[in-house]
Structure 1
Amino acid sequence: MAHLTRRRALTTLAAAVTATVAVPGLAQASERDRGPRPLLRAHAHNDYEHPRPLLDALDHRFASVEADIYLVDGELLVAHDPIDLDPKRTLAALYLEPLAARVRADHGSVYRGYRTPLQLLVDIKTEGAATYLELDRQLRGYRNLFTTYAHGRVRTGAVTVVISGDRAAREPMEQQRARSAFYDGRLTDLGAAAPASFTPLISDNWANNFTWQGAGPIPAAEREKLRSIVSAAHREGRRVRFWATPDVAGPERVAVWGELLAAGVDHLNTDDLAGLEAFLDAHDK
């Protein structure tokens, strides 16, 4: 009897060990299935000016990219200034098609294993209503790629398109019962009637709202103002981004980025992909 009891005890112990010790190759499988971890706060301003639009930002793990568009002869061209327009540099060629291909290859995500959508901020440079309607037509050609709004409900996709730039785009968007894009609000939209399902992002010019540019400590009143803005936006389910923040490498930029991060600002704006990647990685460590 003692022998049987001892055997049962050893069997129970072996089962417990098997349950708690990772089997080589199994516990790590989910990690192997994941790609690089995206930097959720990293926004590539003027992304299309990099040598490889979109792809450079993805290599640096950015979770938000910005493309300026012009409606020219029925096509959406990507450029900062009209003089730079090139019929080969379409929104579809530089962004929509590469994103669709990547999402297909990575099983429904821009970053394999991570379900947080990539934000594609589309800055409209020509007349807003007509440009938006063409953009809307093109977005509808990509089934299940984009976050959508329909009849009061938001369905999250691999890519969330947010419309910025010419404000005339707002009216046709507000009239739609179903759409594949959302609207980039301003600070004046905080507390307004438009819900976060229409205006999930609040963007504004840093220089128009704050005097501090990173030299010395931030004034206490400006720090409080920044944190109040972020808190108000987050209570309403909206994210916050400032453009025109200092973007020359140096202690001033690091100081501003640090304050933005501490305040909970959702997107840090930069043209320096490697610089912001290094900053965010260092902060995480």
Structure 2
Amino acid sequence: MKNLKKGLLVCLFLFPVLLFAQQDFKLHSHNDYLRNVPFWEAFGAGAASIEVDVILQNGNLMVAHEAETIKPELTLRSLYLEPIQKAVDLGMINAFGFHLLIDSKTEAYSTLEAIVKEVADFEGILFSPQNPKGLKLIVSGNRPKAEDYSKYPEWVFFDYQSKTLTADLPWKKIGIVSLSFRQFSVWNGKGRIVESEKLQLEEFVAAVHSFQKPVRFWAAPDSKSAWKAFYDMGVDFINTDQPAMAQSYLSTLSRNIFSTDSRHEVYQPTFATDGKVAPVKNIILMIGDGNGLAQISAGLFVNGGKLNLAQLKNLGLIKTQAADDFTTDSAAGATAFATGKKTNNRALSVDTSGKPLSNLPEILAEYNFNSGIITTDQLTGATPASFYAHHSERDDLDQIASYLPNSKLDLFIGGGRNSFADKIDAIQASGFEMLGNLDDLALSKADRIGYFSSIGSNPSMEKGRGDFLIKSAMGASAFFKSKNQPFFLMIESAMIDSGGHANSTSTIVTEVLDFDRTVGEMVQFADKNPGTLLIITADHETGGVSIPQGNREKGEVELAFHSDDHTGILVPIFAYGPHSDDFMGIYENNEVFEKVLGLVKKYHSK
């Protein structure tokens, strides 16, 4: 009774998990009776096949693998039949999405006779032509002869275990075909299975399927790599001792895999001034929010092994820690780039005591630079706001927005017009011409330009943002070039971070590819405008992303997530143009500012 109560509590806790959408995989809970809460754990994990070993002893069906482990209270009835009946009575089972695979460890005929007698007490829940959604039993282990299968009730089926598949087998009474995985392969589930062994498995699966029957392999490796391999082979019941973990992995697998037939061409840089000791006139800082090495790698593999980023030669790694936390947020990360000082998380261009810190647009104005910011985020977002506002709390949007009219920016492009609704007059009074169309940007003769791309948040690439980032970057660089003055431009791709928080592979990859297309345009601009230093980096990594598997020929990647938040992983930094080699090495994020300002002071005067 104690075990039953514990089981009910576990199952009630897991009950929401049972409401699975239609899924194209099924799990076999191997040796289920060995779990802390037999049946309920497998049921809660959505297992479609639940295995129980039985030993006939003194007329009782004991649940155990061998006689030495028998415990009098552990019977087929107490561990499985009664809990299943209870689940039906509670309304937790309306239609059976699983069967019991009973592995008979004692003499076939006498054990099966006892099983039939015991299970007959639960006739109301059993499969029949009148109850097609009822419970099926599949007898494995010691079984009667095949010619005797038809003598047993309609709810009894059998586990066929042979490579010999012929049309004269009693297929109507065969519920599943099972073989030891070791008959085909010695693979341990790590790395990749040998191709010839994989082919044998696939051929056997196809042969079983030709008789419209499902297949299972026992003694099989039990790992994520193995589960995916069996899934890809079309194995109907994936054998596992970890049904909850396998369910979690396989149910999100389609969401974690991404590929696309759409690939962009990459630009081949000239490298004419790359790494040369030459004057730096323009500085373009591109920030991929949340864009770590795994995210970049995913974009690379999906795009056929090529990225614009991958053409660049000078790169390093950045430590991202905030002043008050090992793991930075975007506010502290962007403040380090904008001011050269580490600050507390949530703070925008103020020090740890809340005192304003001069940011790059403010400092560079003294050297006759024009400055601009572009973001796919709202303009009050932490990264863009760090380049014009000074405030200790990133969520105080009204206070943050109030800094824009008096900022040293000459250009801003991004979403979030609603946050500036009562400040538009002040923004225009400060000399900003508000564009109604992004296409007008490149040819504008205005002194200062502003453009709100949305009243709230911009859409993601998946939801139709299109070429907004590329058009903004190209238009802004052309706008600044026409002024014949040095300029600083910050370009943020914000939604790589969103994909990391959501653990969305498709969001990450589509945003990385959009960012990379924009990188390509800025590399071309640098080649056409010598003296342009391009810096590409990230404020932090998001999602703890890794790439366990992929397919280079298909341009496919599988991402795994170890977090839904920022991490403290080093992030890459790339540089192109004069003095790009100054950005090589491993260093703190605030040192990017120091390197930039050092070059400004070297070649410009107030």
Instruction: Give the alignment's TM-score, normalised by structure 2.
Output: 0.37
Q: Larger radius of gyration, structure 1 or 2? A: 2
| More displaced 10-residue stretch of structure 1: 203-212 or 49-58 | 203-212
Which of these residues, 37, 42, 49, is aligned with residue 20 of structure 2?
37
Seen in structure 2, the aligned counterparts of structure 1 residues 163 and 177 have a Cα distance that, compared at 3 Å, is closer
**Equivalent residue for 2:481?**
none
- Between the aligned partners of 1:35 and 1:254, the Cα distance in structure 2 is 21
1:246 aligns with 2:221: yes
- Between the aligned partners of 1:226 and 1:34, the Cα distance in structure 2 is 31
Equivalent position SS for 2:252 = helix
1:134 aligns with 2:114: yes
Displacement of 1:206 after TM fit? 0.4
Displacement of 1:154 after TM fit? 9.0
| More displaced 10-residue stretch of structure 1: 211-220 or 47-56 | 211-220
Displacement of 1:187 after TM fit? 3.2
Spell out the pairing of 1:204-243 with structure 2 (5 A cutoff): 204-243=179-218
Identity within the alignment, %: 28
Equivalent position SS for 2:123 = coil
CA contact (8 A) 1:154 1:197 kept: no
- Between the aligned partners of 1:173 and 1:93, the Cα distance in structure 2 is 29
CA contact (8 A) 1:48 1:66 kept: yes
Spell out the pairing of 1:38-77 with structure 2 (5 A cutoff): 41-77=26-62
| More displaced 10-residue stretch of structure 1: 187-196 or 274-283 | 187-196
**Equivalent residue for 2:165?**
190
Seen in structure 2, the aligned counterparts of structure 1 residues 103 and 284 have a Cα distance that, compared at 3 Å, is farther
CA-to-aligned-CA distance 1:22-67 (integer Å, 9 cap, x gap): xxxxxxxxxxx99522875111111011111101111222121110
Displacement of 1:178 after TM fit? 3.6
**Equivalent residue for 1:7?**
none
1:181 aligns with 2:156: yes
Displacement of 1:186 after TM fit? 1.4
1:118 aligns with 2:98: yes
CA contact (8 A) 2:17 2:46 kept: no
- Between the aligned partners of 1:171 and 1:216, the Cα distance in structure 2 is 39
Equivalent position SS for 1:121 = strand
Which of these residues, 229, 238, 252, is aligned with residue 282 of structure 1?
252
Displacement of 1:173 after TM fit? 4.4
Seen in structure 2, the aligned counterparts of structure 1 residues 171 and 136 have a Cα distance that, compared at 3 Å, is farther
| More displaced 10-residue stretch of structure 1: 269-278 or 215-224 | 215-224
Displacement of 1:264 after TM fit? 0.8
- Between the aligned partners of 2:146 and 2:197, the Cα distance in structure 1 is 33
Runs of 4 or more, structure 1, over 6 Å off, are none
Count residues with an aligned counterpart: 238
Displacement of 1:86 after TM fit? 1.5
Instruction: Give the alignment's TM-score, normalised by structure 1.
Output: 0.75
Equivalent position SS for 1:143 = helix
**Could you list the runs of 5+ residues in structure 1 that have no partner in the other structure?**
1-32, 248-252
CA-to-aligned-CA distance 1:106-157 (integer Å, 9 cap, x gap): 2xx73x5xx4531100000111110001101122222231224xxxx79623
CA-to-aligned-CA distance 1:250-284 (integer Å, 9 cap, x gap): xxx22222111011101111112332122212214
**Equivalent residue for 1:157?**
133
RMSD value over aligned CA atoms?
A: 2.5
**Equivalent residue for 2:228?**
258
Displacement of 1:188 after TM fit? 2.8
- Between the aligned partners of 1:161 and 1:85, the Cα distance in structure 2 is 22
CA-to-aligned-CA distance 1:208-258 (integer Å, 9 cap, x gap): 2223333443222222222221122112111000011123xxxxx222221
- Between the aligned partners of 1:67 and 1:267, the Cα distance in structure 2 is 15
Seen in structure 2, the aligned counterparts of structure 1 residues 207 and 154 have a Cα distance that, compared at 3 Å, is farther
Which of these residues, 136, 144, 154, is aligned with residue 124 of structure 2?
144
Seen in structure 2, the aligned counterparts of structure 1 residues 103 and 227 have a Cα distance that, compared at 3 Å, is same
1:202 aligns with 2:172: no
Letter of the 2:246 partner, please give it.
L
**Could you list the runs of 5+ residues in structure 2 that have no partner in the other structure?**
1-15, 256-606
Seen in structure 2, the aligned counterparts of structure 1 residues 89 and 133 have a Cα distance that, compared at 3 Å, is same
Equivalent position SS for 2:121 = coil
- Between the aligned partners of 1:210 and 1:66, the Cα distance in structure 2 is 23
CA contact (8 A) 2:18 2:46 kept: no
CA-to-aligned-CA distance 1:56-86 (integer Å, 9 cap, x gap): 1112221211100000111101012211111
CA contact (8 A) 2:42 2:244 kept: no
Seen in structure 2, the aligned counterparts of structure 1 residues 282 and 120 have a Cα distance that, compared at 3 Å, is same
